[in-house]
Amino acid sequence: MVREELLKEYSKVWAINYASALMGWDSETYMPEGSAKERGEASAILSSLKQSILTSQRFLDLFEKLKESASDDFERALVRVLEHDLKYYLRLPPELIEEMERTTNEAKIAWRNAKKRSDFSLFAPYLEKIVELSREAAERLGYEEHPYDALLDLYEEGLKTSDVERMFDELRSPLKKELQRILDFWPREHPLEETPYPREGMERLNKALLDALGFQWDYMRVDSSAHPFTENIGLYDVRITTWYHPKDFRRSLLATVHEFGHALYERNCDPSLWKTPLCGGVSLGIHESQSRFWENVVGRSRAFADFVAPMVREYLNIETSPHEIFRYFNVVRPSLIRVEADEVTYNFHIMLRFEIEKGLIEGSIEVRELPEVWNSKMEEYLGIRPSNDSEGVLQDIHWSLGAIGYFPTYSIGTIVAAQIKREMERELPLEELIREGNFAPIRDWLKERIHRHGRLYPPRELLRRALGEELNPSAFIEYIRGKYREAP
Amino acid sequence: MVREELLKEYSKVWAINYASALMGWDSETYMPEGSAKERGEASAILSSLKQSILTSQRFLDLFEKLKESASDDFERALVRVLEHDLKYYLRLPPELIEEMERTTNEAKIAWRNAKKRSDFSLFAPYLEKIVELSREAAERLGYEEHPYDALLDLYEEGLKTSDVERMFDELRSPLKKELQRILDFWPREHPLEETPYPREGMERLNKALLDALGFQWDYMRVDSSAHPFTENIGLYDVRITTWYHPKDFRRSLLATVHEFGHALYERNCDPSLWKTPLCGGVSLGIHESQSRFWENVVGRSRAFADFVAPMVREYLNIETSPHEIFRYFNVVRPSLIRVEADEVTYNFHIMLRFEIEKGLIEGSIEVRELPEVWNSKMEEYLGIRPSNDSEGVLQDIHWSLGAIGYFPTYSIGTIVAAQIKREMERELPLEELIREGNFAPIRDWLKERIHRHGRLYPPRELLRRALGEELNPSAFIEYIRGKYREAP
C-alpha cells in the first residue's frame, strides 16, 4: 500500500531527524568545544542527505500517489503536512538555501561582534543580505496577500500577516491601558531578584519540582545550558535544559517549568503517530502556548506560590512567604530586554519586532534605519529608550540566523495559554489542583485536547477542536485584568 | 576526479557513522532508560541507510574506477580498506545479516538470563544458532586456509588462524613457566583491593591524571558508565568513560589510563585523512596495543607508581607509598574472570577462548560440551576451576553479540604493547619520563610511528614500519621476565 511504502521511506528521514536532534542537544550540553566545526559539517551532510531523500523521485511519486488516494484523516493529514514541509525544498533552489546558510554562518559571527561593540553598522550589511534572501525566498515560496505570509507559514502553518495584525490590533491599546493602570500600584522590583541562592540546592529543587509536575524520568532528562531549551529527540526521548544564574532563582525555576511544558507536549503525542511526519508539536505558536501555560498560568499563579514556597525553604534555605513569592514571580517593569520581560510587557516586545520584520520584507523600512526605528518604538510602547544598540536592536540572535517570521509565534503562545486557562477552568478546579500539587488532571486535559493529536490538524483547526474557538486575544486581556486587579 | 567524487559520496557514510557513534556514546551515558527500543530502531535504520549508500551502483562504480586508476599510497589504501569493509555487505546476503541481528537481539537477553541463573543450557540454543550463522558467514566471506580466518579478518585485517596458533604456541609454555615462577614469591593480594575510596576524590584524581597524560579537553571528554569504553565520534570529538566501584581504586584509575590510550590513537590520526575511510585505528589488535601500552607498560610500572603516589594521597586521602602502589597495581593471581585478570595470567583467558571458537567453527567442539571444555581448560591453564557457568563459560557478553573472532585481538594488543616498549626504549628514557610525568615525548613517538597513519597501512605493514618487525610474542615474554625478576 502507498501509505506503508511512503512511511517506510519516510522512516529514513525520521532516523536522520532523530540523530540530528541528539547532535543538537549534545552540542549545547556535553560536546567538547573544539569539535564545533566538525559537528557543523556532519549536521550539514545529514541535512542534505535528508533533503535528497525527501525530494527523490521515489518519494515524490509515493507522495503524489497518496495525494490522489488519501482516504482518511490520517492520510489527508500526511499529505497536508508533507506538502507543507516539502514546499521549502521544492520551491527554493539549492543555491538559495546554500547562500542563506553561508550568509547566516557569517552573520552569526558578525552579530556577536556587533553586539559586543554595541555597533549595529557592523551587522547591518549581513542583515541586508538576509532580508534580500528572505524576500527572494518569500517570492519563490508563494503567498496570497503579503510576502511576509510566506515566511510566517514556515513557523506557523497557515498564519498570515493580516492575522498577526488583527491579533496585535486587538491587543495593543487595551494592553497599553492595562500596563499604565498596573504600573500605578504593582511591585516593580523585589529583593529576591538580588538574592544569591545555592546552585546545588536549586538543582535539587528543579528535580523535586519536575517530579511533582509529572516529569517522565524514564523518557526525559534535564541538564543545564547557556540558554534553556527543549530537544525532542524522539517520542521516547525528550530532553530539557535550564540555567543557573548566581542570584534571582525564579529565572531557573520558571525556565524549568517553561521547558517542562514543551517537553510534555512532545512526549504526549499519540504513539500511533510515532515515526511519521505527524508526530510532535504542530507549530511554534501552539508549542509556545504549552510552555507559557505552565510558566505563566501555572507557575506565576498565587496557587503555585503556595505550592512551591515549602520547596524554596527546604532546598534554597530562603525564608519567605507564598505572598512574597507571588510578588517576586510577578514583578511588572518595562524593560529593554525581551527575554527578561514580564507577562504584561512581553507582547510589546513582539509587536515591535513584527512591525520591523513586516516593514523590512515589504520594503517600507530600510535596514540602516533600524536602530532609530527600534528605539522610537520602544519609547512608544514601553516608555523607555535603549542607550545603545546592544540593549536595543542587537539584543536577539534570531535575525542573524535568518529567522524572520518567527517572533509572532511567541505572542500566539501567550494568548493561547490564556485561552486554555479559560477553557480548562470550565471543567477543572485549576487553582485548587495547583495549590495541592495535583497536576495529573491538568496534564490529562492538555493531552486529551491538544498533545495527542500531534500534527493531525492544522493549528487553527486544532484550536477550534480543543478550545471551541480560534486565536482570541481578548482571553489574554481578560486574564491580565483578572490577575492584576488589585495590589498583591 | 574519481577520488574526489568517491570521497564526496563517502562523506555521507562518514556523517552517518558520526551520528551513530554519538548515539552509541549517549546510550551508555545519558540516554533515558525508557528510550532504548526507539534508539535501537533509529540505529538500525541509519545502519541500513549506510549500507544502501555503500552498495549503491553509483558508489560501486566509483570504487571500481578508483581501483583501476589508483596511483598513489593514499588511493591504494582507499581501495584496500573499502574492499575490506565492502566485503561484509557485498558477500553476505541481507537475509543473513538480518537473521544474525534477530538472533543476537534474542541471544543477548537469553545470555543475561542464563548468566543470572548460572545455567548455560538457557543460552546454548542461541549460541548454536550464532555458530551456525557464523559458519555460513565464513563460507560466504571466503578464506584460504581455515573458515575461522574469515571471522578474524573482520576485526583484524589479514589475520589468520595459523597466525594466532603460532602466536599462542610461542607464548604458551614460556608463559606458563613464568607464571609458576612468579607465583612463588610475588604478592597475590593487597589490602588496597579492599579499601574504600571517595568517589568524588577519584573523579578529580582521574581528571588530574588525564591532564598530566595530555588529555585534549578541547576535543575529548570523560564520563562514567557501567563498563569503560572509548567512543570515536569524529577526529575532533573522542570520548572515554571510566567506572567507579566502592573499593579497589586501581580499577577506576587503570581503566581511565587504558581508555586514554584508545582515545589518543583516534585523536592523533593525520587531519589529511579526516572524513575518509582511512581515518582512525587500523584494527582492534593495534588499538588494544595502545590502550595496553598505557595501562600496563606505563600504568603498572614502578616509575608510574612513583609518579601517581602523591595524587593518591592528595585526592583519595590514602596514605601509602609508591612501593605499595606498585605491588597493588601488579598483584598476580590466577582468577576466573578475564576482565579482572592481571597481565601475566590474561593471555591464558584468551587462549582458552580462541581454542573454543576455532573448535566451534571447524566443528571439532560442540556447543553443548562448552561448560566442561571451558572448565577443563581453566584448570589446565590456570589451575582453578569455575564452580558454576556464570563465572565460567557465561562470563563474557561477546558471543551473544555474535562477536566470534574478536578475542585474539586482545592478545595481539598485549604483545604489541611490549614490542612498542622495547622499541621505544631504544630511543627514549621511558622510565625517567614516566617518573617525571613528562608524557609528551611518549605521545609524540606513538603519534609519529603509529597514530598518524590511520588505516593507511594494513596492521602487519604498520608494525614493520613502526617497529621494524611483525607480531613478536617473545617481546612479551621478555617484558614479563624483566618486570617480575624478583620480589617487589
Q: What is the pLDDT of residues B172-190, one digit of tens each?
A: 999 999 999 999 999 999 9
How far is the C-alpha of B149 from the C-alpha of B131, rounded, in Å? Answer: 14
Of A15, A31, A217, which is closest to B49 when you measure between CB atoms?
A: A15
Task: Answer for the pair A233, A16: CB distance below 8 angstroms, yes or no.
Answer: no
A45 touches chain B (CB under 8 A): yes
Which set of grid coordinates corresponds to residue B286? 593495534
Q: Rounded to 5 degrees, what angle do the CA atoms A370, A371, A377 make?
A: 85
Nearest residue of B to residue A271, measured between CA atoms = B38
pLDDT at A105: 87
**Residue B143 main-chain phi, psi, to 5 deg:** -160, 165
Q: How distant, in Å, are the alpha carbons of A19, A47, B16 from that of B19?
A: 6, 12, 5
CB atoms within 10 A of CB B83: 12
pLDDT in tens, B192-203: 999 999 999 999
Which set of grid coordinates corresponds to residue B109? 537477553
pLDDT in tens, B149-173: 999 999 999 999 999 999 999 999 9
* DSSP H/E element including A38: helix A36-54
pLDDT in tens, A186-195: 999 999 999 9
How far is the C-alpha of A123 from the C-alpha of A109, rounded, in Å? Answer: 9
Nearest residue of B to residue A12, measured between CA atoms = B45
Instruction: List per-residue pLDDT tens for chain A, 488 residues long.
Output: 899 999 999 999 999 999 999 999 999 999 999 999 999 999 999 999 999 999 999 999 999 999 999 999 999 999 999 999 999 999 999 899 989 989 998 999 999 999 999 999 999 999 999 999 999 999 999 999 999 999 999 999 999 999 999 999 999 999 999 999 999 999 999 999 999 999 999 999 999 999 999 999 999 999 999 999 999 999 999 999 999 999 999 999 999 999 999 999 999 999 999 999 999 999 999 999 999 999 999 999 999 999 999 999 999 999 999 999 999 999 999 999 999 999 999 999 999 999 999 999 999 999 999 999 999 999 999 999 999 999 999 999 999 999 999 999 999 999 999 999 999 999 999 999 999 999 999 999 999 999 999 999 999 999 999 999 999 999 999 999 999 999 88
Could you confirm whether A99 is annotated as catalytic?
no
Site from B30, B43, B230 to mutate, A interface, most A CB atoms within 10 angstroms:
B30
Nearest residue of A to residue B217, measured between CA atoms = A32
Identify which of B2, B129, B126 has the alpha carbon closest to the alpha carbon of residue B62. Answer: B2
Catalytic one of B156, B157, B231, B259: B259
How far is the C-alpha of A216 from the C-alpha of B51, rounded, in Å? Answer: 35
Where are the strands (E) in A8-64, listed by range? none
pLDDT in tens, B110-147: 999 999 999 999 999 999 999 999 999 999 999 999 99
Q: What's the full length of chain A, in residues?
A: 488
Going A384 to A389 to A390 to A393, the CA torsion angle's sign is positive
pLDDT at B1: 86
- Rounded mean pLDDT, B457-476: 97
Task: Answer for the pair B91, B140: CB distance below 8 angstroms, yes or no.
Answer: yes
Identify which of A93, A330, A352 has the alpha carbon closest to the alpha carbon of residue A192. Answer: A330
Say yes or no for a CB contact (<8 Å) between B234 and A35. Answer: yes
Identify which of B330, B405, B369 has the alpha carbon closest to the alpha carbon of residue B128. Answer: B369
Give the pTM. 0.95
Say yes or no for a CB contact (<8 Å) between A236 and B31. Answer: no
Say yes or no for a CB contact (<8 Å) between A22 and B22. Answer: yes
B16 touches chain A (CB under 8 A): yes
CB neighbour burial string for A228-260, b if at least 16 within 10 angstroms, e if fewer:
bbbbbbbbbbbbbbbebeeebbbbbbbbbbbbb
Say yes or no for a CB contact (<8 Å) between B31 and A219. Answer: no
Site from A13, A14, A23, A223 to mutate, B interface, most B CB atoms within 10 angstroms:
A23
Q: What is the DSSP string of A408-421?
A: HHHHHHHHHHHHHH
Task: Answer for the pair B400, B271: CB distance below 8 angstroms, yes or no.
Answer: no
pLDDT at B475: 98
Cell 595524587 belongs to residue: B311
Q: Number of helices (H) and strands (E), helices first, in chain B?
A: 20, 3
Identify which of B451, B477, B478, B40 has the alpha carbon closest to the alpha carbon of residue B271. Answer: B451
Structural domains of chain A, with CATH: 2-117 (no CATH), 162-483 (1.10.1370.30)
A23 touches chain B (CB under 8 A): yes
How many Å lie between the alpha carbon of B41 and the closest alpha carbon of chain A?
8
CA end-to-end span of chain A, whole Å?
A: 62
B271 touches chain A (CB under 8 A): no
A92 touches chain B (CB under 8 A): no
Residue B253 has pLDDT above 90, yes or no: yes
Chain A residues close to B10, C-beta within 8 Å: none
CB atoms within 10 A of CB B180: 10
- Rounded mean pLDDT, B439-467: 98
Task: Answer for the pair B375, B392: CB distance below 8 angstroms, yes or no.
Answer: yes
Cell 521515489 belongs to residue: A58
Cβ pairs A/B, distance under 8 A: 108
pLDDT at B94: 86
How far is the C-alpha of A463 from the C-alpha of A420, rounded, in Å? Answer: 9
| Beta carbons within 8 Å of B272's beta carbon, 6+ residues apart | none
Complex ipTM value: 0.95
Q: How distant, in Å, are the alpha carbons of A218, A219, A238, A281 from that of A267?
A: 11, 8, 7, 10
pLDDT at B105: 87
Nearest residue of A to residue B17, measured between CA atoms = A42
pLDDT at A270: 98
| Beta carbons within 8 Å of B331's beta carbon, 6+ residues apart | B187, B188, B189, B190, B193, B342
Of A22, A38, A223, which is closest to B23 when you measure between CB atoms?
A: A22
Chain A residues close to B18, C-beta within 8 Å: 38, 42
CB atoms within 10 A of CB B425: 12
Say yes or no for a CB contact (<8 Å) between A22 and B18. Answer: no
How far is the C-alpha of B6 from the C-alpha of B434, rounded, in Å? Answer: 44
Q: What is the DSSP string of B298-362?
A: ITTSHHHHHHHHHHIIIII-----HHHHHHHHT-----S-GGG--TTTHHHHHHHHHHHHHHHHH
Chain A residues close to B35, C-beta within 8 Å: 219, 233-234, 236-237
Identify which of A106, A67, A452 has the alpha carbon closest to the alpha carbon of residue A280. Answer: A452
Q: Number of helices (H) and strands (E), helices first, in chain A?
A: 20, 3
**Bridge partners, B375 (sequence order):** none
